[in-house]
Structure 1
Amino acid sequence: MFVSTAAVAAAPALAMNSAADEPLAIDHKGILARVEQIVDLLRTRYICDGWKMDEDGAARALDDFRRHVHGPAFNDEDEHTAAHTIKR
């Protein structure tokens, strides 16, 4: 099964804010903190023989989550997609 790292990172932040009588709020600061923790753990722990971190991918993910907190916001989904297109 494949799971989006964004979904994994967002789950705790969303769950804490989802009271039945309150509108759903996204805790972008909480999500960023969790993503930073995940990247740090993957960088500093043994995963398995031959495994290595995709540093470019990690940097793009961190930049994206930091942009949600610190801005500037993406104008639309097309701009967001273009920002994450891998140029080879």
Structure 2
Amino acid sequence: MFVSTAAVAAAPAAAKSSPADEPLAIDHKGILARVEQIIDLLRTRYICDGWKIDEDGAARALDCFRRHVHGPAFKDEDKDTAAHTIKR
């Protein structure tokens, strides 16, 4: 569920219009700001009885988005992300 929230957060920042001959610029700072806002809201608002945020998952997601902004750069994002995934 959190992954879909992050994807929704990323959509507006990545959907900037650009001329057809230019690659789409991704606003990683904008994406990070939106993800931080979403996680803060999920931490501080009532969602429903018994619901609580997955703090480990939220921390991993924030780390991933912060890494896009502050580094270090990903060599292989899927492989690097998988290495930090907690097995349940």
Query: 1:22-59 deviations in whole A, cap 9, x for unaligned?
Result: 43110000000000000000011100011011111100
Counterpart in the other structure of 1:46:
46
SS of the aligned residue for 1:4 comes to helix
The percent of aligned pairs where both chains have the same amino acid is 82
TM-score calculated relative to the size of structure 2: 0.83
Cα distance in 2 for partners of 1:74, 1:58 equals 19
- RMSD, aligned CA: 1.7
Distance (Å, rounded) in 2 between the aligned partners of 1:31 and 1:72? 17
The count of aligned residue pairs is 84
Q: Which residues of structure 1 form unaligned runs of 5+?
A: none
TM-score normalised by length of structure 1: 0.83
**4+ residue stretches of structure 1 with deviation over 4 A?**
none
Residue pairs, 1:1-88, within 5 angstroms:
4-15=4-15, 17-21=16-20, 22-76=22-76, 77-83=78-84, 85-87=85-87
